[in-house]
Amino acid sequence: MKILVVGGGGREHAIIKKLRENPAAEEIFALPGNGGIARDATCVNIGAKDIEGIVRFAAENEIDYAVVAPDDPLVLGCVDALNGAGIPCFGPDSKAAIIEGSKVFSKELMKKYGIPTAEYEVFSDAVAALEYVKTCALPTVIKADGLALGKGVIIAETREEAETAVRSMMLEGAFGESGSRVVIEEFLTGPEVSVLSFTDGETVVPMVSSMDHKRAFDGDRGLNTGGMGTVAPNPYYTEAAAAECMEKIFLPTVAAMKAEGRAFRGCLYFGLMLTPKGARVIEYNCRFGDPETQVVLPLLESDLLTVMQAVTNGTLADAEVKFSGKNACCVVMASEGYPVSYEKGFEISIPEAIRDDVYVAGAKLEDGKLLTSGGRVLGVTAVCDTLPGAIDSAYEKVSRISFGNAFYRHDIGARALMVYGEAE
């Protein structure tokens, strides 16, 4: 079988490594992939947003199955286009991907179907939004409607901050078209949990829960990033919380999308907050999370390709989706200065013994050398029976990897350990 994976980050590397476990996956192409992925797949220099180029490549190379991983091509209709060319895909079509592509859509969906989320108002007029933030409760949360590389959310502690956020999104175009409409919503508190799920539009199967660490620095300080590390499972996500989320959030969301004529087939990501009043949806993503995937898939015991094909074929109810009871920790090694500005081009050294545990996000191959080429460079995952064991082992592996200007958080998993009262 010839498989094509669209994307080129750590998440795609994790998906590719897992797909390779099935001997039927004879050949895997990554579009565009990266210098580290090149070890596990054939990388082809076609960008993830070049829908025409992707479809042409897939047709010319008689691809049997495609996995579209990033948000942009999903929202832009990559799955629609591939399906149109007769290629079966894992991932939602553009009608369903709107659940991530428009925050206004997702908030209205939740309101219509009674799915618990933060109270909110939508504004397409900057004057009205500026008026609203003069009196609303603080802190308040301001979100650009469209995709904004995970940066379109501002938590304003003061009225001045709220005003600045509205102005930059709506008047100064900080996020382009994405900010022409904004959602202003209630500030919620509680532990955050990521739950990725497989759904074929009918059945929903949650994967093991996880916890992201979005801020750049230790102690959850600094700017929001794409994610500096993850642990799975998330110990705050108790069995009771899981049952509540299944009943009030997961099943109703999948049913709502179907009722809207937007049946979601792929990985539906629930960004949740466990507030004192119960679980609330913070955001939906129409794809696997990054770096959640780098801890979730290593714990998947069932065959990923089989599960993905069941999602595509609408037979998920009959598929086995089993996770090991172990714990995983992924520490992201980034370039000093990320997420603002950073130097690239440093040689990366990874001992052969731990290569299988490394998911490369931003690196290129030059004369046989692997060089840094992005903000997030790679993630290192360890799996262990216990969470402290997984954390220690991940950091031990980190200590064996080196590249110029390497930078990483030292406290991935510390908040999770607090559940057990084990954090220092």
Residues making contact with ligand GLY (CB under 6 A): 150, 212, 227, 285, 289-290, 292
Q: Does 187 bind ligand AMP (CB under 6 A)?
A: yes
Q: Does 40 bind ligand AMP (CB under 6 A)?
A: no
**List 167, 214, 248, 344, residue binding ligand AMP (CB under 6 A):** 214
Whichever of 332 and 371 has its CB closer to ligand GLY, that residue is 332
**List 126, 130, 136, 188, residue binding ligand AMP (CB under 6 A):** 188
* Alpha-carbon distances of 144 from 1, 147, 151, 157, 160, rounded to whole Å: 41, 8, 9, 17, 18
Q: Does 153 bind ligand AMP (CB under 6 A)?
A: yes
Do 73 and 50 meet the contact criterion of CB atoms below 8 Å apart? no
Whichever of 203 and 230 has its CB closer to ligand GLY, that residue is 230
Closest separation between CB of residue 294 and ligand GLY, Å?
Answer: 10
Strand partners, 205: 198
* Total number of residues that touch ligand AMP (CB under 6 A): 14
Q: Does 88 bind ligand AMP (CB under 6 A)?
A: no
**Phi–psi pair at 285, nearest 5 degrees:** -120, 150
Closest CA to 161 of 130, 123, 118, 182: 130
Range in contact with ligand AMP (rule: CB under 6 A) among 83-91, 182-190, 300-308, 415-423: 182-190
Q: Which residue has the tokens 């994610």?
A: 227
Spatial distance between the Cα atoms of 195 and 284, rounded to a whole number of angstroms:
10
Whichever of 209 and 285 has its CB closer to ligand GLY, that residue is 285
Do 13 and 361 meet the contact criterion of CB atoms below 8 Å apart? yes
Q: Whole-angstrom distance between the N-terminal and C-terminal Cα of the chain?
A: 49
Closest separation between CB of residue 211 and ligand GLY, Å?
Answer: 10
**Phi–psi pair at 75, nearest 5 degrees:** -65, -35
Q: Does 118 bind ligand AMP (CB under 6 A)?
A: yes
Residues at the contact surface with ligand AMP, assessed by CB under 6 A = 118, 141, 150, 153, 155, 185-188, 192, 214, 271, 282-283
